[in-house]
Each structure stands twice: as structure tokens, then as C-alpha cells.
Amino acid sequence: MNLLGDLLLLLGCAIIAIGGLGLLRMPDVYNRLQAGTKAATLGALSVLLGIGLHHPDWWAKLLVIAGFILFTNPVGSSTIARAARHSGIAPWQADEKAE
């Protein structure tokens, strides 16, 4: 169980790090929100699962935290995207001449 927990912790950290690179790489706020939200949600859940395998008596608390993350990350992302849209920020479009 410790090896599986360690692997899940490493996987979660790697997913979060790749999501951070996605935030730097993406061209506009909408793409950055998508990359950041998906990576943060999946990475955090992997980390929580890894912690749960290391500390089985913490499962109840970890499930509450996971539920909070699963509900608040998409809502927060949608709220930021909606605010960006109301502010007049247009979605990025690829330039056809550049391709």
C-alpha cells in the first residue's frame, strides 16, 4: 500500500506541475482556466488518494476535502470564465495565415 500511495502522490504532483506549465503555455484566459482547473482537480484527488493509502484513518476527512474540491473547482472556473466574457475578453482564435 505504501508503494501505491507513493506512486499516487508522485502522479498527483506531476499532474499539478504539468497543469502549471499549461497555465504558462496557453494563449488566453479560457484555455488557461481549462488547463488549470482540470490539472488541479485531478492532481489534488490523486494526492488525496495517496494520502488516504498512507493514513487509512483519515478517509472521512479526505472524502470531505475531495467533495469540496470536486464542487468548488468547476464552479470557480465557470465564474471566472463568465466574468472574463462579461468584461469583453474574446476567446483566442488561431490565425489561419500562420498555419
Q: What is the residue-wise DSSP string for 87-98?
A: TTPPPP---TTT
Q: What is the pTM of this model?
A: 0.85
State the Cα angle at 33 between 7 and 93, rounded to 5°.
125
Q: What is the pLDDT along the chain (99 residues), one digit of tens a residue?
A: 799 999 999 999 999 999 999 899 999 999 999 999 999 999 999 999 999 999 999 999 999 999 999 999 999 999 999 999 999 998 888 875 655
